A = this chain, B = another copy of it.
Amino acid sequence: MAIRLYELAGADPERRFSPYCWRTRMALAHKRFAVETVPWRFTEKDALPASNQGNVPVIVDGDRVVHDSWTIACYLEDRYPDAPSLFGGDTGRAAIHLINDWADRILFPTIIRLIVIDIFGGLDARDKDYFRASREQRLGAALEQICADREQQLPAFRQALEPLRATLRAQPFLGGTAANYADYAVFGGFQWSRVTSPLRLIASNDPIHSWCEKMLDAFDGMARKTPGYPV
Decide: B87 and A174 in contact? CB cutoff 8 A. no
Classify chain A's interface size.
20 to 34
Decide: A90 and B91 in contact? CB cutoff 8 A. no
Contact with B along A84-106 (1 / 0, CB 8 A): 01011111111111110110111
Decide: B163 and A106 in contact? CB cutoff 8 A. yes
Chain A 162-211 interface residues, beta-carbon cutoff 8 Å to B: 162-164, 166-167, 170-171, 173-177, 180, 182
Decide: B106 and A160 in contact? CB cutoff 8 A. yes
Decide: B101 and A91 in contact? CB cutoff 8 A. no
For the complex, give the distance between the alpha carbons of A170 and B105 in Å.
15
Decide: B88 and A164 in contact? CB cutoff 8 A. no
Decide: A105 and B162 in contact? CB cutoff 8 A. yes
Report chain B residues within 8 Å CB of A182: 94-95, 98
Decide: A95 and B174 in contact? CB cutoff 8 A. yes
Decide: B90 and A166 in contact? CB cutoff 8 A. no
Report chain B residues within 8 Å CB of A99: 95, 98-99
Report chain B residues within 8 Å CB of A88: 89-92
Residue of B nearest to A102 (CB): B163
Least Cβ–Cβ distance between A94 and chain B, in angstroms: 3
Least Cβ–Cβ distance between A5 and chain B, in angstroms: 24
Least Cβ–Cβ distance between A98 and chain B, in angstroms: 4
Residue of B nearest to A94 (CB): B176
Decide: A94 and B174 in contact? CB cutoff 8 A. yes
Decide: B176 and A98 in contact? CB cutoff 8 A. no
- Sample of 9 more A-B contacts, CB < 8 Å, known A91-B180, A95-B175: A85-B91, A89-B89, A89-B91, A92-B95, A94-B182, A95-B99, A97-B171, A105-B162, A106-B160
* A residues neighboring B (CB under 8 Å): 85, 87-99, 101-102, 104-106, 160, 162-164, 166-167, 170-171, 173-177, 180, 182
5 A/B residue pairs, CB under 8 Å, sorted by A: A92-B95, A94-B180, A95-B175, A98-B163, A98-B174
